[in-house]
Structure 1
Amino acid sequence: MDYLYYLANASLTLRVVEHFHNQSNWSLNFLTVIHKIDGWILRIKLNKPLSEDQDKDFRAFLNELGIPYDPGMRLQMALWSLETGQSPITVMRRYQVAVVSHGRPDREEIEEFRQQFVRGLGYCPETLA
């Protein structure tokens, strides 16, 4: 199963990561977090499909936090490259995207990215709130 969503800010992104920490019985292949100037892109890929009820519940949860996302060609290629095993650094250089996390969801990576970005700007944009 594959889910691709746009979220408005870091707090919403962190809620999805926390959700996965609470769902230890789900077989997560990877969760990719990409920061864009206007928000966050999350791609969630599971090894096994969820039951119909679990899928509906999870989609409802994601729809409360964000909207399904249809990426442009450059972002599609970046996501595909990450899935095929290319390193996040290579993908960031080639496709000019900010890969915050790929693999196991890690709250600390997102928090560290947010802190460094805010420190560099000197203020906190809405997407990093």
Structure 2
Amino acid sequence: MQYLYCLANASLTLRVVEYFSNNGLPVKFITVISQFDGWVVNVKMKSSIPVKKDKDIRAFLGELGIVYSPTELISQALSSLEAGQSVLNVMRRYHVVVVSHGRPQPDEIEIFRQDFIRGLGYCPQTLA
């Protein structure tokens, strides 16, 4: 089972990652990609989950973002990460910003956000 959503900002992305971290769900990995106009979150489960839980997850994600139809570039990047390629190689090859991949890591998103804001000197809306 897989969930692929686009979110408007870092705060919403953190909420999603924390949701999957704290609910004992069988998460195989979560990939977080930062883009100019928002964030892409890909959640892959280790195993199937009950239909009711799936509906709850989709309702939660639907309140925070929209289902994402990836571009060919993002699709290839996600496939490469799932195949085991390193995050750095995927970022170099596909020119995408992979903030986190693997176990849910809210800290990585927060560190990325703070470093990016510090470098810019202001906080763009997508990093709020």
Unaligned runs of 5+ in 2: none
What percent identity do the matched residue pairs reach? 60
CA distance in 1, matches of 2:70, 2:27: 21
User: Over residues 11-69 of structure 1, what are the superposed CA-to-partner deviations in whole Å (9 max), with x where a residue is unaligned?
Assistant: 00000111112212x21110000000100000000011110100001000000000000
| Secondary structure, counterpart of 2:33 in structure 1 | strand
Q: What letter matches 1:84 in structure 2?
A: A
Structure 1 partner of 2:51: 52
Task: Report 1:61-76 matches (<5 A).
Answer: 61-76=60-75
Task: Report 1:4-15 matches (<5 A).
Answer: 4-15=4-15
Task: Report 1:1-129 matches (<5 A).
Answer: 1-24=1-24, 26-129=25-128
Runs of 4+ in 1 over 6 A off after TM superposition: none
Q: What letter matches 2:5 in structure 1?
A: Y
Q: What letter matches 1:104 in structure 2?
A: R
| Secondary structure, counterpart of 1:113 in structure 2 | helix
Aligned length: 128
The CA deviation at 1:106 is: 0.6
Q: What letter matches 1:100 in structure 2?
A: V
| Secondary structure, counterpart of 2:76 in structure 1 | helix
Q: With structure 1 as the length reference, what TM-score do the two structures score?
A: 0.98
User: Over residues 69-91 of structure 1, what are the superposed CA-to-partner deviations in whole Å (9 max), with x where a residue is unaligned?
Assistant: 00110110000000000000000
Q: What letter matches 1:6 in structure 2?
A: C
